[in-house]
Every structure is written in structure tokens, then in C-alpha cells.
Amino acid sequence: MALEHAILVSLEERAGSGYELARRFDRSFGFFWAASHQQIYRTLKRMVERDWVTVTDVAQEGRPDKKVYRVTDGGRAELSRWLAEPTEPVTVRSELAVKIRGASLGDSGVVIEEIARHRSHHAERLGVYRMIEKRDFADPDSLRGQRLHQYLVLRGGIRAEQGQLDWCDELLDALHRDRARGKADTEG
Amino acid sequence: MALEHAILVSLEERAGSGYELARRFDRSFGFFWAASHQQIYRTLKRMVERDWVTVTDVAQEGRPDKKVYRVTDGGRAELSRWLAEPTEPVTVRSELAVKIRGASLGDSGVVIEEIARHRSHHAERLGVYRMIEKRDFADPDSLRGQRLHQYLVLRGGIRAEQGQLDWCDELLDALHRDRARGKADTEG
DNA sequence: AGTTGCTATGCGCCTAGTTGCATAGTAACT
DNA sequence: AGTTACTATGCAACTAGGCGCATAGCAACT
């Protein structure tokens, strides 16, 4: 699993608390890896036990104390080990695809509505990603190192959302035409 | 979760045993939903308890007896209910993306090798899907109903694999150029 | 007689992840 | 004084899924 490793990467870039990590996972890191705060706190606890990170209590003004986590040498070693280890390519697991296969057996109208809902979702995500691309990475050819890597991950998100969006359009077009033909058959 | 619903859809199209379902999930259904035989047997057992399917022992010649599962009215009702229920769009969860972000902190060479490995994987899957598309769906405009839905799901698989492949190419190109620039800096 | 391979079913343990709930300080608004 | 919102942490129970292992009939080959 990669949540631990995603946390190691994030903490290497900048030390922080569980709460801060959760916010990072909501934003840039969450482009490709969602994690709830419960998961993050539990994982951090385990990582402390394994000596991959250390924790320091930090008093704050005007807000509750926080625990700042920092990567140890052991954590860096684990990250190197994991980077060199092959991982399985993602298996696509699409509930929407199951629903499309099920459309023959039920009301295809509700499936079409569902696809439209997914289309909106992906269009919105894509809009956010495109905005970030334009705002933060105006000159991609000049990027290097960490900044380049951030850009490339964003590109992956853009490609994934664009792909889903295009598929939704293909689905809606084909299913609408199929319905129209079915109606013509009944009437004619 | 959709494994139960994927099984319902598959069994509605044709009744079968756990073993047969496992093979279907290895083939067409597995384009978008992988499931091990252990998972399928366990899920079928639960589905019998819920009266979504019935089971009949069938003696066979030259091979072990099998248990054939059939969808009940209750199962069909559940499938309808689920089809109408909104599902969350898939959150992309890419270990490869985590590794790219980690490349700044470790050996970018091993990350490039990993991307190349993923590229091969996606190229191979895409090849299989394209072959099926050409062989089984030569005239997509004429498709209707169940056959159309099968084709549309395959199209989703093609789009997903093509997207991953293109991203891998973009990654390899950018990371190679970044390395070459770094080398030029050291030498110059 | 032994091995390999396909068909066929299933259990037990573990990890990862989700859901719901609980606590608590501070600030700003009503 | 009460509500809402943000910061900050965490547990308990549950579900899904993966990994390893076990059993067993039959066929074909060695």
C-alpha cells in the first residue's frame, strides 16, 4: 500500500501535523490519493512505532496544540526501498461500467441520469485541474525536479478526468440514440 | 460496493456456477472489475442468504459437480434499486503518481524503469482491447441493447488504457529530458 | 504409479479503508 | 449565552478485499 509512502513523500517535502497532511491530501496530493483524517492519524501512529517518523508536540497560539511529524533516516530508507520495488498497475474498477451492463435489464433512463451526474463531476474536476495548470505551470518546458514532478502528476489527473469526460459523452450520445431508435420502432 | 451487483448482472445474462463467474470476471467483465474466485464464492454465499440468488446442484460427467446460481425476483429488485441509486465517481488512486512525487527524493532512474514497466502493461492491455473491438464489434453504429452496452464498456477500457499509455509516454519523455539537462549541467 | 493440469469449492487470517462517533480549544458572529 | 466554524486529535466497529492454504474428482501424459 502507498498511503504510508505518500505521507513519507509529503513529510519529506515539508514536516507537518496530521491535520496539515489531511489538508494536503484534500488538495494537491489528493489529485491521485484520497485519505480521510482518521486514516492519516492511524497511519502516522503506526509509522512512529516503525521509526519511520518522529513526533514533536508544538504549542500554538489561538488554536489547539499540534503534533509535528518528521521523516527519520529509517523512513527515508523505507521510501527508497519502496520506490525501487515494482507496483501493480491500477486495475480499473468502475461501478458505472457495471451499471451500463445492467442497463439492459432495468430502466436505462436512470442509468443515463447517472452518467450525466458523473459527467458533471468529471467536468468540474477537469476545470479545477486546468485552472491550476494555467495558474501554476504556465511554462512547462522550463520545469525541473520537484516542480516538474508536481506538474507531471497534475497532467495525469487532467488526462484521467478528460478521458472519463469523453467516455461519458460517448455513452450519453450512444444511449440516447439507442433510446430514440427504440421509440421509433414502437411508433413505426 | 458493486461486486454483488456485477454478479447479479452477469447471472441475469446467464445463470452459472462460481467457477464460471470467476472465468467471466477474468474475461469481459474483468475489463473493469477484477475479482478472485475466493471473493466470488464468499459473495455468492451471502447472496443466497439474502435471497438474491438460488442455488441448484448440478451433476456433471467427467468433472466435479457444480452449483448453478440463478437470480431471484428479490435479486432483480435489488439490482433495480442499486441502478437507480447514485454512486460515487471513482477516485483515482495511483501509486505511480506517488512514486513520481517521490522521484525528487530518491533515485529517479528506478522510477523511470517503473514507468516503463507500466507503459508495457498498458500497451498490452490496449492491444487486447483493440483486438476484441475489431473482432467483435466491427460495425458499432448497428449495435443495440445489451451488445451496445458491452461495446460501450469496452470503449471505456480502451480510453482508460490509452490514457494511461499516453501519460506514461509524456512522463518518460519529460523525465528523460530532465535527466539529460541535469547531466549537461554537471558536465558543463 | 506418478505428475501435471483443469474443473470445482471453500476456510481463515490479515490489511486497508469507511463510517460513525467523541472530545476539546478558540474565534467570530448572533 | 448560544451557535457556527475552524483547528486538532483519536477510538470502535464494520466492510471489502487480498493472500495463503486445503480439498477433491477426473483426464492425459510419462
Q: What is the pLDDT of residue B1?
A: 67
- Number of separate domains in chain A: 2
Which residue in B52, B79, B95 has the most chain A C-beta atoms within 10 A of its own C-beta, making it the best mutation to test that interface?
B95
Residues A102 and A150 in one domain: yes
Structure-block grid coordinates of residue A95: 461501478
B140 is a domain residue: yes
Domain endpoint, select from B84, B103, B133: B84
Note whether A173 and A139 are same-domain residues.
yes
Beta carbon of A44 within 7 Å of strand C?
Answer: no
Kindly tell me if the per-residue pLDDT of A90 is higher than 80. no
pLDDT digits (tens, 9 = 90+) for B37-91: 999 999 999 999 999 999 999 988 888 889 999 999 999 999 999 999 888 887 7
Q: Are residues A103 and A178 in the same domain?
A: yes
Residues A79 and A126 in one domain: no
DSSP string, B107-124: -HHHHHHHHHHHHHHHHH
Whether B8 maps to a domain, the answer reads yes
Same domain, A71 and A7: yes
Please check whether residues A13 and A46 belong to one and the same domain: yes
pLDDT in tens, A125-156: 999 999 999 999 999 999 999 999 999 999 99
Q: How confident is the model at residue A188 (pLDDT cuts 50, 70, 90)?
A: low
ipTM of the complex: 0.91
Q: Please list the alpha-helical segments (H only) found in A14-144.
A: 18-26, 37-49, 73-84, 95-102, 108-136
Cα-Cα-Cα-Cα torsion B62, B66, B72, B76, nearest 10 degrees, comes to -90
DSSP at A34: -
Which of A66-75, A92-101, B24-33, B173-182 has the highest average model confidence (pLDDT)? A66-75
- What is the pLDDT averaged over residues A30-52? 91
Which of A84, A111, A142 represents a domain boundary (last residue)?
A84
Q: Which domain holds residue A153?
A: 95-187
Q: Which residues of B touch A6 (CB under 8 A)?
A: 98, 101
Determine contact, residues A117/B86, Cβ cutoff 8 Å. Answer: yes
| A5: pLDDT strictly greater than 70 | yes
Q: Which of A91, A98, A111 sits opposite B5 (nearest CB)?
A: A98
Largest CA distance in chain A: 77
Cα B42 to Cα A90, B1, B4, distances in angstroms: 24, 14, 10
- CA-to-CA distance for B89 and B80, rounded, in angstroms? 19
Q: What is the reported pLDDT for A182?
A: 75
